[in-house]
Amino acid sequence: MDIARELVAKEKLKPLFEDPLKLPFGRNFTDHMFTMEYVPASGWIRPCIKPYGPLALDPSANVFHYSQEVFEGQKAYKSAPGEVLMFRPRENARRLNRSLRRMCMPEIAENDILEAECELLKVERRWVPAVKGASLYIRPTVIGTEAALGIKPSSEYLFYIILSPVGPYFKEGFNPVSLWVSDTYSRAGSGGTGEAKTGGNYAGSLLATLEATKKGYSQVLWLDAGEHRYVEEVGAMNIFFVIDNKLVTPALSGTILQGITRKSVMELAPELGIAVEERRIAIDEVVAGIASGRVSEVFGAGTAAVISPVGKIAYRGQDYVVDNNRTGPWAQKFFDTLTGIQYGELADTRGWVYVVG
């Protein structure tokens, strides 16, 4: 791509953070953003890196009324020698395109997505924290922008990328969080958009999440929409259980997001010494297993938190405490291994790390 550049004057650049580990998630943004437009006659045009700022959209723009929107979540890390690293960015590009197809939106060439991210990261290199535990969050987004009412796919789109320096996702840090099981609300139904990373899925989860936090829990553990019986996801993460010394996770069924961290955990598991099983997992099996000790660990996996150990699950008025609310050895091992690879501390034997030039 021939990416235009409209850069902020050096004397007008924003001041950097003081302590990156104290940065709240998604509240601070860098000086620049990437944009590219789609028009039917020409496809994707006018790629540009320009100052971060508001978007000018018509009040009738498709995204406001019919929610044609998808996004991704990635991170850039800084290694000890000072290299800027991304973790499996092509997997994110592929997932973005899967989401675009599901939402009837035009795909973007993988190489163009990667080039846009890399060129923006080069411009914003100073924003990548040089402290382990902090990173630069990358948010590629595509929205429908056609100014017209009527339930149909937009004919025009905007692809943009913004960057946000972040500290740890949970205020608890890498410590066990508590989950509240919702057997009333559903995140996604069969045949819906559950496996697409689209904003509507998250908007629909807000009410249950508010109820969970009011009750003193960190996240919602979602069950299937049909029977409210089988575990699907936790908050915005995939979920794993260690059951009888085997790593078990819900099978992808069209309602569960295909997490890149989930995929990485499953690919690392045999190498680290634990077998993996994908299958339907009933919530009754989970709580009974916690009570009996068959379920020895529970943890979430996602880009924002990487690995999040679970210490307590609330279901139908009863709290089930996992291994005395301690971080389990497998959660610790996966966290240490993944973050070690992401920050360039461990050898990348699988080609997962992409070095930004």
Delineate the domains of the chain, giving CATH numbers in brackets.
4-166 (3.30.470.10), 177-342 (3.20.10.10)
Contact 240, 248 (CB under 8 A): yes
Q: Is 103 exposed, middle or buried (0-12, 13-18, 19+ CB in 10 A)?
A: buried
What is residue 141's predicted lDDT score, i.e. its pLDDT? 98
Quote the CA–CA distance of 337 and 332 in Å, as a whole number. 8
| Alpha helices (runs of H) in the chain, residue ranges in sequence order | 62-66, 89-102, 110-123, 199-203, 206-214, 260-272, 283-292, 329-342
Distance CA 215, CA 53 (A): 37
Look at residues 263, 258, 260 and name the one whose alpha carbon lies nearest to residue 304.
260
| Cβ 102 vs Cβ 196: under 8 Å | yes
Name the token pair of 278: 């994908």
Per-residue pLDDT, 236: 85
Q: Give the type of residue at 278.
A: E
Distance CA 236, CA 262 (A): 12
Rounded to 5 degrees, φ, ψ at 58 are -65, 145
Beta bridge partners of 61: 147
Per-position b or e across 131-141, b if 16+ CB within 10 A of its CB: ebebbbbbbbb
Using alpha carbons, select from 288, 26, 20, 258 the residue that is nearest to residue 137.
26
Q: What is the pLDDT of residue 169?
A: 86
Exposed / middle / buried, residue 310 (Cβ in 10 Å: 0-12, 13-18, 19+): buried
Helix 329-342 to helix 260-272 angle (10° resolution) is 110
Which residues, including other chains, have CB under 8 Å from residue 345's CB and lie 6 or more apart? 79, 80, 339
Residue 271: count other Cβ atoms within 10 Å of its Cβ.
10
Strand partners, 84: 78, 356
Q: Which residues pair with 230 in a beta bridge?
A: 282
- In one letter, which amino acid is 151? I
**Regions of the chain where pLDDT drops below 70:** 171-172
Asked if residues 120 and 159 have their Cβ atoms less than 8 Å apart, the reply is no
Check: pTM over 0.85? Answer yes or no: yes
CA dist 342 and 129 (Å) reads 13
Q: What is the pLDDT of residue 172?
A: 67
